Amino acid sequence: MRNDVADAPTVPPVGRFAPSPSGPLHFGSMVAALGSCLSARSRQGRWLLRIEDVDLPRSVPGAADGILRTLEAFGFAWDGEVVWQSRRTAAYREAFARLKADGQLFGCACTRKEMADSGLARDGTRRYPGTCRAGLPAGREARAWRLRVPPGRIVFLDGIQGRIEEDVSADVGDFVLLRADGLFAYQLAVVVDDAEAGVTEVVRGADLLDSTARQIVLQHLLALPTPSYAHLPVAINGAGEKLSKQTLARSVAGAPPARVLVDALAFLGQSPPPGLADGGLSDVWQWALRNWSLARVPSCRAAPCPAYA
């Protein structure tokens, strides 16, 4: 565990918001945008924006532009150019090649159907049973490429959720870095992108908590720094589902920005004063930047938000 807090020079943090363009911004994504932005900006840090369109089949045409426009309308201002994952294949290929040259990858012939009996990891993905780890079965070809996950526990101190521990090799197994459809996996893209952008803190929804240990494994193998992590509660609907396009979550684009931001602040435990929204967007931002406290964010993984479901 690092213990350099007392001596550390006060380097401004670099945070980021990294939406997947699978639909319009809903309240849950707004919470992640706001939490990541306030965490960095309240300490004079930089805040970056990356559109995670690495998963092209799940990207909805026009969604990214809608997200950017909505963020602007809500008073968000990011540093530098927007990074698009769909334009960063060369960087992912380079990291992939390094891992491959180091013997950390293996080709896998298994189909989803063949793995259907395998147990489930914490996040509901199939645990890889190790079928092709020692070589492809005779007559089979590699469909995907997996990381040879080293055994051992990953431990990190989440700024909101506390101590998190996971043995990725036991819980998830060797996970995919290059998919059968030829696309690089989110886990690889996010690690390469965060490192290249100099991101020092990742503040995002707790639905990604179970990906974090995988990402730390990759950072270790690629000799990249590990940022600090803080996972915000995820907004859920009455049925306990995370707000998403699938749950038909409402877009926040049509709602009054100051009102939505104040509701997001309340969701994040910041206790905005009554009437704050009436003063308009700039009052809300001013109050939020002065009063933001990560310590006040509830340390649960999910919380309901009936008004925006």
Residue 254, Cβ density class (10 Å: 0-12 exposed, 13-18 middle, ≥19 buried): exposed
Q: What is the nearest approach in angstroms of ligand GLU to the Cβ of residue 195?
A: 13
User: Look-up: residue for tokens 């974090």?
Assistant: 212
Examine residue 18 and tell whether it contacts ligand GLU (CB under 6 A): yes
| Closest to 36 measured CA to CA, from 188, 227, 178 | 227
Helix crossing, 186-196 with 209-221: angle to 10°?
70
Strands 105-108 and 144-147 come out as antiparallel
Q: 165 φ, ψ to 5°?
A: -135, 135
Examine residue 204 and tell whether it contacts ligand GLU (CB under 6 A): yes
Q: Which is nearer to ligand GLU, 20 or 284 (CB)?
A: 20
Q: What is the nearest approach in angstroms of ligand GLU to the Cβ of residue 259?
A: 23
Options 14-22, 63-71, 73-81, 292-300: segment touching ligand GLU (CB under 6 A): 14-22
Q: Which is nearer to ligand GLU, 143 or 204 (CB)?
A: 204
Q: What is the nearest approach in angstroms of ligand GLU to the Cβ of residue 31?
A: 12
Q: Which is nearer to ligand GLU, 58 or 93 (CB)?
A: 58
Q: Which is nearer to ligand GLU, 127 or 204 (CB)?
A: 204
Q: Which is nearer to ligand GLU, 52 or 166 (CB)?
A: 52
Residue 213 corresponds to which tokens in the numbers above? 């240990």
Examine residue 227 and tell whether it contacts ligand GLU (CB under 6 A): no
Examine residue 214 and tell whether it contacts ligand GLU (CB under 6 A): no
Instruction: Work out which of 19, 45, 159, 227 binds ligand GLU, going by CB under 6 A.
Output: 19
Examine residue 174 and tell whether it contacts ligand GLU (CB under 6 A): no
Q: Are 104 and 221 in contact (CB under 8 A)?
A: yes
Q: What is the nearest approach in angstroms of ligand GLU to the Cβ of residue 276?
A: 27
Q: What is the nearest approach in angstroms of ligand GLU to the Cβ of residue 66?
A: 14
Q: For the chain, where are the E strands, in sequence order?
A: 14-17, 46-51, 83-84, 105-108, 144-147, 154-158, 162-166, 176-178, 201-205, 228-232, 234-236, 302-304
Examine residue 216 and tell whether it contacts ligand GLU (CB under 6 A): no
**Is residue 240 classed as helix, strand or coil in its secondary structure?**
coil
Instruction: Work out which of 172, 195, 206, 208 binds ligand GLU, going by CB under 6 A.
Output: 208
Q: Which is nearer to ligand GLU, 246 or 282 (CB)?
A: 246
Instruction: Work out which of 28, 31, 48, 52 binds ligand GLU, going by CB under 6 A.
Output: 52
Q: What is the nearest approach in angstroms of ligand GLU to the Cβ of residue 36?
A: 8
Options 18-26, 168-176, 261-269, 283-291: segment touching ligand GLU (CB under 6 A): 18-26
Cα 262 to chain centroid distance, Å, stands at 23
Examine residue 190 and tell whether it contacts ligand GLU (CB under 6 A): yes
Please report, for residues 37, 59, 274, 294, the alpha-carbon distance to residue 40 in angstroms, rounded to integers and kept in the order given.
Answer: 5, 27, 25, 11
| Closest to 16 measured CA to CA, from 96, 85, 98, 91 | 85
User: Look-up: residue for tokens 């890889």?
Assistant: 128
Positions touching ligand GLU (CB under 6 A) are 18-20, 52, 190, 204, 208
